[in-house]
Amino acid sequence: MPESPYDLLSQLTALSPQRLGTVNAQVRQTCAGAMTLPPLPAEDTPSADAAVRDFAEQFAVDVAGISPSQREAFLGALGADAFAGTALIFVADCVPRVLAGLEALGLPAVPEPDGWDHDTDPIDLLLNRFAPTVGALRSLDPVTTEVVRLRGAVAHNCRLCRSLREGAALDAGGTESMYDDIEHYDTSTLLDERHKAALRYVDALIWTPSRIDPDVAAGVRAHFTDVEATELTLDVMRNAANKIAVALAADAPRVAEGTERYLLGADGQPVYA
């Protein structure tokens, strides 16, 4: 039986790797402060590493703005744990956004975890379990899913994501002209009101998660069912996993020119030609 996205969010909240406990506490405090949202709970006393703080803060504010010197200092501070540390920053950054979005839309809350998880690998839980579980959801139509993905790709300046086009969305009517309109969607004649309502919500979760305008939430409620609105919220977080690659300068495009078609498989994993 597939895992529940809500249960996986609860498991992500429970993460507290022993070797990174103080770092985990620091980044949860730092990311929440940058977003002016309540921080995820933490088991340990926060560390006070300036390199980790600066990297995590910029990750939350605008990941594309992470400088080479910030990245180098972060990698130097965490060494072999840098990838796992970045995954923990992602959790500290994105789970509070989801919680804020669900609350703004009046959707059910994520259950609080029963205790701390010292053993689960953050990378495996995030990228091999949570991301594909959300990717396998199919309540939203493929064009809306793709429009939302591409808005996140632009916002985070992920070169890899911008170089890809999902095949089911293309087959369902997605076009390059439509996708070009995403950056100025409010005045687009190719994106419909449903797309625009979704994109306003995406922008709110990405840029102002502590101040989701009631009109933005009302727009989502007017155009999407509860199940669709939940998937939309989860999609924003799944797509934002590109922040990990961008933060670590590992977001090289798959093709040198143009775009590559891929399919999002039934298991939520991308399938490339």
Q: What is the pLDDT along the chain (273 residues), one digit of tens a residue?
A: 679 999 999 999 999 999 999 999 999 999 999 999 999 999 999 999 999 999 999 999 999 999 999 999 999 999 999 999 999 999 999 999 999 999 999 999 999 999 999 999 999 999 999 999 999 999 999 999 999 999 999 999 999 999 999 999 999 999 999 999 999 999 999 999 999 999 999 999 999 999 999 999 999 999 999 999 999 999 999 999 999 999 999 999 999 999 999 999 999 999 998
CA-wise closest residue to 140 among 131, 153, 149, 152 = 149
Most distant CA pair in the chain, distance: 52
- How far apart (Å, rounded) are the C-alpha atoms in residues 161 and 155? 11
- How far apart (Å, rounded) are the C-alpha atoms in residues 155 and 96? 18
Whether this model's pTM surpasses 0.95: yes
Listed as own residue / partner, the contacts of 30-35 with beta carbons closer than 8 Å and 24 or more positions apart are 30/56, 30/57, 30/60, 30/92, 31/56, 31/57, 31/59, 31/60, 31/89, 31/92, 31/93, 31/96, 32/92, 32/96, 33/57, 34/60, 34/61, 35/60, 35/93, 35/96, 35/97, 35/209, 35/210
CATH superfamily placement of domain 139-272: AhpD-like (1.20.1290.10)
Packing angle, helices 50-62 and 68-78, rounded to 10:
130
CA-wise closest residue to 92 among 118, 64, 122 = 122
pLDDT at 49: 96
- How far apart (Å, rounded) are the C-alpha atoms in residues 142 and 134? 13
pLDDT at 1: 66
pLDDT at 81: 97
Q: Map out the domains of the chain as residue ranges.
A: 5-133, 139-272
One-letter amino acid at 89 equals I
pLDDT at 107: 98
pLDDT at 34: 98
CA-wise closest residue to 229 among 203, 264, 190, 194 = 194
Q: CA angle, corner 95, sides to 92 and 98, nearest 5? A: 150
